[in-house]
């Protein structure tokens, strides 16, 4: 006689709840672009959304407290000449946001504390290096001022944002669907249109592992790092069924688990919470959010529940852990984009006690970087600096100042021409020494030319 056991998990009863109407952001013209990015980025201060704009690309940045109907004349960030495809807030400074566009550029913007009072057209930094549209952006989790961008030119560029310097990684034969960092930023995981997963080491510019056809279907694959270096992918089967798979990079032969979900056509965007081990799957065009718990026990990925609503989602923003309300047992918060509004959705673990729940909130990644950009480009990795949420996150914590070396920014284009190898070992000190060598060589050449002329005239 067989008996079925219910798996014990503190996240089995997690439930999602949409915010009330007065806590939503209404009357916003969300972008109609058909691009598989989140279209939204949030942090404890602001929520940013890509919006429709005539004559270029724009996105809107609102203070979290500015809920309700948003006036049509509310100022936007509108410096791009083509539609904006992706935006992401810097994890080390809540006022800094990056945007990538069809105009082939990446721009870095600084948002004032109270939000915008007039349209923002001049970026702090403009990064030019891609030859086709830029569709993916991701800030380094532990290194200050390091940004990764991926374009439709099949190239990943790692930017030292403050100096405008770039390192190119050219190892993809086709369009890059997704690119993400691991927890300490020492590895990059990419999925590509050639149906191959690649695990890269940015320090060497090499491919550590490759996995061909993690999913048999032709539609885009998304991949993220989960616990213990494992990799979670979402994709499609040959019969166009959506799938979820978990992989161990040490043995890429067979997946640890492969689950078929449904027959919808929207690409599943995975959001992983390393503190709880819960992964949330949000499909573009879906009206639901599925969530699973990733554990060390077979079948490794355990279905928990699903949040459903009537309206489909055009994009999704995911709040960092330090922006949640711990006194309400909130373990995740999403910002769901509708056609004309943005709706916060809160994921809660029901608990009777009002005390701080230590098992739900282990120390989490804080806003303080552990290495500077120059150090990271020289090969130094840094572990995440963790903070406790016991007393809530104080947004008054001193954020890392954003400094730009404007005298060096002019050299961006020439540096890109120089950095054509898969990885360029140039660091700022070496750039300066190279300039000095060039100057000395010019002087020596002039001296030689002068002597040759003298000899010729003596003859």
Name the residue with higher pLDDT: 422 or 152: 152
Does some domain include residue 455?
no
Confidence of residue 402 (pLDDT cuts 50, 70, 90): low
Does some domain include residue 160?
yes
Using one digit for the tens of pLDDT, what is the confidence trace for 97-131?
999 999 999 999 999 999 999 999 999 999 999 99
Q: Which two tokens stand for residue 397?
A: 């914590």
Does residue 137 contact residue 86 with C-beta atoms inside 8 Å?
A: yes
- CA pair distance 215, 198, nearest whole angstrom: 14
Q: What is the mean pLDDT of residues 292-303?
A: 90
- CA pair distance 14, 306, nearest whole angstrom: 9
Does residue 310 contact residue 319 with C-beta atoms inside 8 Å?
A: no
Q: Considering its fold, how many domains does the chain have in total? A: 1
| pLDDT computed for residue 416 by the predictor | 40
| pLDDT computed for residue 271 by the predictor | 95
| pLDDT computed for residue 459 by the predictor | 59
- CA pair distance 324, 320, nearest whole angstrom: 7
Q: What is the mean pLDDT of residues 119-146?
A: 94
| pLDDT computed for residue 353 by the predictor | 77
Q: What is the mean pLDDT of residues 236-244?
A: 93
Q: Which of 105-109, 361-365, 433-437, 449-453 has the lowest mean pLDDT?
A: 433-437
Q: Which of 193-197, 242-246, 309-313, 389-393 has the lowest mean pLDDT?
A: 389-393
Name the residue with higher pLDDT: 298 or 84: 84
| pLDDT computed for residue 289 by the predictor | 94
| pLDDT computed for residue 143 by the predictor | 95
| pLDDT computed for residue 438 by the predictor | 67
- pLDDT of residue 405 exceeding 60, the answer is no
Q: Which residue's structure tokens are 């060589």?
A: 441
Does residue 22 contact residue 44 with C-beta atoms inside 8 Å?
A: no
Does some domain include residue 458?
no
Does some domain include residue 251?
yes
Q: What is the mean pLDDT of residues 283-293?
A: 91
Q: Which two tokens stand for residue 291?
A: 């969530």
Does some domain include residue 420?
no
- pLDDT of residue 411 exceeding 50, the answer is no
Name the residue with higher pLDDT: 141 or 299: 141
Segments forming the whole domain that contains residue 150: 15-406
Return phi, psi of residue 148, to 5°.
-105, 135
Global pTM reads 0.84
Does some domain include residue 434?
no
Confidence of residue 455 (pLDDT cuts 50, 70, 90): confident
Q: What is the mean pLDDT of residues 237-258?
A: 91
Which CATH number is 362's domain given?
2.130.10.10
Confidence of residue 404 (pLDDT cuts 50, 70, 90): low
| pLDDT computed for residue 396 by the predictor | 43
- pLDDT of residue 95 exceeding 70, the answer is yes
Percent above pLDDT 90 for the chain: 66
Tally of CB atoms within 10 A around 105: 21
Using one digit for the tens of pLDDT, what is the confidence trace for 178-214?
999 999 999 999 999 999 999 999 988 889 989 999 9
| pLDDT computed for residue 266 by the predictor | 87
Does some domain include residue 74?
yes
Does some domain include residue 430?
no
Whether omega before 299 lies within 30 degrees of 0, making that bond cis, reads: yes
Using one digit for the tens of pLDDT, what is the confidence trace for 20-29?
999 999 999 9
Using one digit for the tens of pLDDT, what is the confidence trace for 35-59?
888 999 999 999 999 999 877 889 9
């Amino acid at each position: 006689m067989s008996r079925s056991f219910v798996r014990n998990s503190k996240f089995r009863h997690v439930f999602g709840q949409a915010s009330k109407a007065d806590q939503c952001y209404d009357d916003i013209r969300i972008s109609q672009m058909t691009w598989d990015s989140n279209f939204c980025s949030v942090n404890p201060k602001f929520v940013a959304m890509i919006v429709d704009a005539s004559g270029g690309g724009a996105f809107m940045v609102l203070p979290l407290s500015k809920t309700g109907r948003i006036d049509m004349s509310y100022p936007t960030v509108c410096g791009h000449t083509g539609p904006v495809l992706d935006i992401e807030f810097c994890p080390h400074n809540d006022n800094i946001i990056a945007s990538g566009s069809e105009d082939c550029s990446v721009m870095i913007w600084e948002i004032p504390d109270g939000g915008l009072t007039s349209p923002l057209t001049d970026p702090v930094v403009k990064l030019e290096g891609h030859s086709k549209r830029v569709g993916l952006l991701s800030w380094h989790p532990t290194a200050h001022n390091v940004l990764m961008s991926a374009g439709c030119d099949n190239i990943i560029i790692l930017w030292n944002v403050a100096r405008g310097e770039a390192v190119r990684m050219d190892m993809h034969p086709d369009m890059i669907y997704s690119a993400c960092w691991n927890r300490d930023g020492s590895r990059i995981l990419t999925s590509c249109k050639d149906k191959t997963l690649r695990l890269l080491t940015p320090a060497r510019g090499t491919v550590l592992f490759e996995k061909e056809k993690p999913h048999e279907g032709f539609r885009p694959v998304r991949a993220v790092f989960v616990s213990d270096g494992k990799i979670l992918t979402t994709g499609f089967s040959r019969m166009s069924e959506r799938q979820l798979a978990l992989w161990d990079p040490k043995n890429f032969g067979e997946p640890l688990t492969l689950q078929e979900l449904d027959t919808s056509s929207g690409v599943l965007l995975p959001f992983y919470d390393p503190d709880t081990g819960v992964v949330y799957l949000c499909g573009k065009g879906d009206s639901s959010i599925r969530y699973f718990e990733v554990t060390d026990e077979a079948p490794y990925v355990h279905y928990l529940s699903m949040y459903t609503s009537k309206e489909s989602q055009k994009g999704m923003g995911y709040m960092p852990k330090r922006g949640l309300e711990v006194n309400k047992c909130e373990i995740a918060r999403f910002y769901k984009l509708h056609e004309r509004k943005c709706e916060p959705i809160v994921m809660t673990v029901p608990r009777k006690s009002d005390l701080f729940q230590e098992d739900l909130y282990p120390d989490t990644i804080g806003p303080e970087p552990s290495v500077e950009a120059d150090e990271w480009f020289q090969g130094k990795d840094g572990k995440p600096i963790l903070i406790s949420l016991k007393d809530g996150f104080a947004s008054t914590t001193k954020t890392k100042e954003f400094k730009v070396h404007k005298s060096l920014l002019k050299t961006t284009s020439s540096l890109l021409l120089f950095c054509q190898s898969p990885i360029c070992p140039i660091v700022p000190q070496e750039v300066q020494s190279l300039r000095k060598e060039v100057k000395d060589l010019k002087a020596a050449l002039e001296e030689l030319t002068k002597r040759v002329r003298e000899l010729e005239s003596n003859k």
